[in-house]
């Protein structure tokens, strides 16, 4: 079942890099008492993700925060080391929290996986953006295959 507006976010654990190394981040820590924009990309450093999706959220971070967003988080089915390297190379800093869903468990719990085997990438998370308030989904923006429109920072911002 695919997550929809009004649903509670499923319980899960993602990984993020800290100064002490990789650390688990529970979904309770991520969402409880906060307004969060969680966007997902099929893969770090992949063309659209690297050239448009992440940069859009970096460029619009201040605008999103001005609309009451506490956390902007980028999730991909990549390991924590790759997500950390991508965040560093993109200049994510403290603007966007880079989260690894290494085995795709959280994308699966959201019902938002895709088969990218024809690209040699196995099962990945779809391209999407969610607006979550205190653990409840307010908006769901899932891209059609090959599209990049509704999960873009500008579209999310226009719906806040």
Catalytic residues: 49
Of residues 90, 71, 77, 92, the one with CA closest to residue 14: 77
Beta strand segments in the chain, E: 13-18, 21-26, 35-41, 71-76, 97-100, 113-115, 123-125, 128-133, 136-142
**Six token digits for residue 79:** 């390991």
- List residues bridging with 123 in a β-sheet: 115
Of residues 62, 65, 77, 53, the one with CA closest to residue 155: 53
């Amino acid at each position: 079942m695919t997550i929809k507006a009004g649903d509670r976010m499923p319980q899960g654990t993602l990984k993020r890099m800290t100064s002490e190394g990789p650390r688990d981040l529970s979904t309770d820590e991520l969402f409880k008492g906060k307004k969060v924009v969680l966007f997902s990309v099929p893969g770090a450093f992949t063309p659209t993700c690297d050239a448009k999706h992440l940069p859009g959220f970096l460029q619009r971070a201040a605008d999103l925060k001005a609309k009451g967003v506490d956390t902007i988080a980028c999730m991909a089915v990549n390991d924590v080391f790759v997500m950390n390297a991508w965040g560093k190379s993109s200049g994510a800093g403290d603007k966007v929290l880079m989260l690894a869903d290494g085995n795709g468990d959280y994308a699966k719990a959201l019902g938002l996986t895709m088969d990218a085997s024809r690209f040699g990438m196995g099962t990945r998370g779809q391209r999407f953006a969610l607006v979550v308030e205190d653990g409840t989904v307010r908006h769901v923006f899932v891209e059609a295959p090959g599209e990049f429109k509704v999960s873009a920072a500008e579209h999310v911002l226009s719906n806040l």
